[in-house]
Structure 1
């Protein structure tokens, strides 16, 4: 079975998923939050509706909102087909079964589409490792299912540059999930090498367990701390 999903997937994960795989509590979602890359996730829409100053950045946002929403809808089928063909690689607790996963992601895509149409200012074009934000612009920076996920095509130097850029725009923590690749392969050597590189930069980096596991073995995030955090 081919273990490459192909082109970078513009996925539509939900706010509830973000809460779980980033281990977010109420105190984490105060001030400003960046989702990078945001894809078609409903995190920004839901967070903003709860009073959070939430911004998403993604290369896909170069297109008009209607075209981005259409792309996200098309990507649902590709993402769902990938998971359905590999159900044994996943833990079916949070999502229960493939049908529940599909329903949840479809609803998340709808929420995203409505929000990017109504509030396009929340969705900024940008690409790692060069983001269009000032140093320390966000209290919390979240990055899901891009770094490590695509380690088959993004090398160690890219990961380090991207993580340094995420850390640059954060005045609080950076949280990155997961720490396995798209096929579920563990990347312990890469993660530990990056942790050591940040230690040399004087930045505390840690691997932290989270209350979520969908891909088997993907139950921790990488956290980068800003000074005093």
Structure 2
């Protein structure tokens, strides 16, 4: 039997994705987000927060990365981008390049997103939107955000974080979400490109606690089986 070829990852990677990628991962409708408070959790050096704020979305971000200086993040980010590109070169036939086109274009997009992030992170008021924090504990009041997003962290690192961590993390995302708001998580896969093995258990726990969760169809065909995100609605009070 042929050995399954997968992306090898040790530790949690730092990512730098664009607003356009977030739109496709989470099927975001920009007009629905204008004036709304949106939290990006574990987004690393993605430019989502910077890009979103330029179009009137009240975006903020939380990641342990933000304990580092801009220079440290830049050095780490550029090194990470090179490592990712080298790994992808060996797996080009595994991925769907419809969106990114090639390894070089993927790499260029990462660099551009990193640079937009850094420009915003170095601004004088960056402390108002970038918070050094890690799941499952976030430094926000209950019911603070209209939308809460988390990409390429939960589920993806199934081998490193157990079910109890995942459950606590999702509950924390819901804690900081407003009643009537929504949490979205993408993708639903581990690095083996297989659906998170405890997803059914997680959905049962959420249903038991009064949350409505469902799978949605994403529009970023890249990783095998990465066509879905998880949407969790927080009930309105009363």
Tell whether the structures are fold-level matches, with TM greater than 0.5. yes
1:96 aligned partner: 101
**Whole-Å separation in 2 of the counterparts to 1:181 and 1:25:** 27
Is the 1:29–1:52 contact (alpha carbons within 8 Å) kept by the matching residues of 2? Answer: yes
Is 2:58 aligned against 1:53? yes
Is the 1:69–1:112 contact (alpha carbons within 8 Å) kept by the matching residues of 2? Answer: no
After the TM superposition, which of the residue ranges 1-10 and 52-61 deviates more from structure 2? 1-10
1:174 aligned partner: 183
Distance 1:224 1:17, change over 3 A: same
Q: How many residues align?
A: 228
Is the 2:37–2:57 contact (alpha carbons within 8 Å) kept by the matching residues of 1? Answer: yes
**Whole-Å separation in 2 of the counterparts to 1:64 and 1:13:** 19
Is the 2:96–2:223 contact (alpha carbons within 8 Å) kept by the matching residues of 1? Answer: yes
**Whole-Å separation in 2 of the counterparts to 1:195 and 1:28:** 26
Cα shift readout 1:132-163 (whole Å, capped 9, x = no counterpart): 00011111000000001111111111110000
Is 2:134 aligned against 1:130? no
2:154 to 125, 147, 155: 147
1:199 aligned partner: 207
Q: How far did 1:3 drift?
A: 4.7
Is the 1:142–1:175 contact (alpha carbons within 8 Å) kept by the matching residues of 2? Answer: yes
4+ runs deviating over 6 angstroms: none
Q: TM-score, normalised by structure 2?
A: 0.91
Cα shift readout 1:55-100 (whole Å, capped 9, x = no counterpart): 1110111112222222212211122222222122211101111111
2:111 aligned partner: 106
1:39 aligned partner: 44
**Whole-Å separation in 2 of the counterparts to 1:2 and 1:19:** 26
**Any idea what SS the aligned residue of 2:229 has?**
strand
Q: How far did 1:108 drift?
A: 0.6
1:120 aligned partner: 126
**Any idea what SS the aligned residue of 1:87 has?**
coil
Q: Which runs of 5+ in 1 are unaligned?
A: none
Distance 1:195 1:27, change over 3 A: farther
Taking only aligned residues, the RMSD between alpha carbons, in angstroms, comes to 1.5
Higher helix share: 1
Q: Which runs of 5+ in 2 are unaligned?
A: none
Is the 1:76–1:106 contact (alpha carbons within 8 Å) kept by the matching residues of 2? Answer: yes
**Any idea what SS the aligned residue of 2:167 has?**
helix
Is the 2:77–2:114 contact (alpha carbons within 8 Å) kept by the matching residues of 1? Answer: yes
Q: TM-score, normalised by structure 1?
A: 0.95
**Whole-Å separation in 2 of the counterparts to 1:18 and 1:137:** 21
